[in-house]
Chains A and B, each alone.
Chain A
């Protein structure tokens, strides 16, 4: 039961946020887009607040729920840097990440987002299969 409860609540919260944000602010939630808006646009306050909230909420781990899987041992810096560069450049070139394309895009049945999600899932699955 617990194995279903946590992902279900987590997904509902993510979907609820996307819905509230859409119906009030009129926009989709895409973390990669919000981050680059914070970094490279002139309107920084709102993206800053969103990211601050995200980090606070996302780090409230042990306070709310018991984790079922341990965090990985700290991995090599080179791996993390290559990963970050690919995620940063790739999400901007492709116009979205797991939130923008994966959740918000599929919710509105955007053909671009459905294709993007299929491709990044496939690439990620293959990468894990090769790397592990």
Chain B
């Protein structure tokens, strides 16, 4: 059951990215280019996704536990620290350079293989570098 829901979730999420054209880095860069030839369509994507998401959290507030899993595992951290800020700056620069954030980058493995392979390879190495750094600092 978990496997089917997770696969379907990935599939619908991916369809959402494709429909909104977030899978196309030219659309994403057009959205970020507010000082140039601005394409505001991704505001509609974010706003409608967040509106439905808020409905989800409203339903959650009326439920003791999820319908399948035994407990909620929503992040509870509230502190705004330097890691959050520096990490978000790095992410923003990387996103602006190519127009790929992680989801659309993964779809580029099929949509635009000659770009996707380099982006995703580096994405894995970058994530791995942080994983190793965290592991070493725990020792």
In contact, A88 and B127 (Cβ under 8 angstroms):
yes
| A65 to B, closest residue via Cβ | B19
For the complex, is A42 an interface residue (Cβ under 8 Å from B)? Answer: no
Determine which of A9, A79, A97, A103 lies in contact with B53 in the assembled complex, contact meaning CB atoms within 8 Å: A103
B21 touches A7 (CB 8 A): yes
**Segment 73-118 of B: residues with Cβ below 8 Å from A:** 73-75, 77-80, 83-107, 109-112, 114-115, 118
B96–A92 touching, CB < 8 Å: no
Contact yes or no, A57 B125, CB < 8 A: no
Which of B25, B68, B93, B106 interacts with A25 by CB under 8 Å?
A: B68
How far is it, in angstroms, between the C-alpha of A21 and the C-alpha of B66 when the chains are bound?
A: 9
> Is A23 within 8 A of B56, CB to CB?
yes
Please count the residue pairs between chain A and chain B whose beta carbons lie under 8 angstroms apart in the complex: 466
Residue of chain B at shortest CB distance from A63? B18
Q: Are A123 and B93 in contact (CB under 8 A)?
A: yes
Q: Given the known A-B contacts A7-B42, A35-B123, are A24 and B5 also in contact in the complex, defined by CB atoms under 8 Å? A: yes
CB < 8 Å neighbour of A125 from B63, B74, B96:
B96
Contact of A128 among B15, B16, B29, B73 (CB under 8 A): B29
A128 to B111, CA, bound (A): 22
Binding site for B on A (CB under 8 A): 3-4, 6-29, 31-32, 35-36, 39-40, 45-46, 49-61, 64-65, 67-72, 74-75, 77, 79-95, 97-99, 101-104, 106-108, 110-112, 115-117, 119-129, 131-132
What are 26 residue pairs bridging A and B, where the CB atoms are less than 8 Å apart in the complex? A4-B41, A6-B19, A10-B22, A15-B49, A17-B13, A23-B56, A26-B71, A50-B7, A55-B106, A59-B107, A69-B30, A71-B111, A81-B118, A83-B119, A84-B119, A84-B123, A89-B129, A91-B87, A91-B101, A95-B75, A95-B83, A97-B103, A103-B49, A120-B91, A121-B92, A126-B96
